[in-house]
């Protein structure tokens, strides 16, 4: 089974999971672990480590909000594991692709598709709005 987890600053991760569930009409294996400044980085890292350990026999796709941010720095600590994959600068189209294809594709093809879907959104936007 392939599980997804979103790591973001503030409540963005929780909102993205709720939005994906609203659009997809079902609960998918997509979880959120927010980094709230009031709680501190230690508690965030502990919650994330617990998620990794609980799912160590599963493929895990980690989505983070910013390249170079605290969430990515935390996720990078687990990249030496073969079952851990990280995608940064998460967007809604990537999460919808993940949710709709995670049970249909092997993890490497799934990740390639997620990255491609995210890039396509930007390309289409650039072409469609060039004249505005």
> DSSP string covering the chain, please?
-EEEEEEEETTHHHHHHHHHHHHHTS--SEEEEEE-TTT-HHHHHHHHHHHHHHTTTSEEEEEESSTTSHHHHHHHTTTTSTTEEEEES--HHHHHHHHHHTTTS-HHHHHHHHHHHHHHHHHHHHHHHTT-
CATH of the domain at 55: 3.40.50.510
R_g of the chain, CA atoms, integer Å: 15
**Percentage with pLDDT > 70 across the chain:** 89
Give the pLDDT of residue 129: 54
Interval 74-99 mean pLDDT = 94
Question: Stretch 108-120: mean pLDDT, rounded?
Answer: 87
Q: What percent of the chain has pLDDT over 90?
A: 76
Query: With 60 as the cut, is the pLDDT of residue 126 above it?
Result: no
pLDDT in tens, 23-80: 987 777 799 999 998 889 999 999 999 999 999 999 999 999 989 889 999 999 999 9
Domain count, the chain: 1
91 in Cβ contact with 120 (< 8 Å): no
**Structural domain containing residue 115:** 2-129
């Amino acid at each position: 089974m392939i599980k997804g987890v979103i790591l973001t600053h503030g409540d963005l991760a929780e909102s993205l999971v709720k939005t994906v569930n609203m659009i997809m009409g079902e609960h998918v294996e997509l979880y959120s672990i927010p980094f709230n400044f009031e709680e501190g980085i230690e508690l965030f890292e502990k919650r994330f480590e617990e998620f990794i350990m609980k799912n160590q026999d599963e493929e895990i796709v980690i989505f983070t909000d910013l390249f170079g941010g605290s969430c990515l720095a935390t996720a990078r600590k687990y990249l030496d594991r073969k079952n851990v994959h990280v995608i940064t600068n998460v967007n809604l189209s990537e999460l919808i692709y993940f949710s709709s294809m995670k049970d249909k594709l092997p993890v490497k093809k799934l990740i390639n598709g997620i990255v491609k879907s995210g890039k396509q959104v930007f390309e289409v936007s650039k072409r469609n709005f060039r004249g505005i």
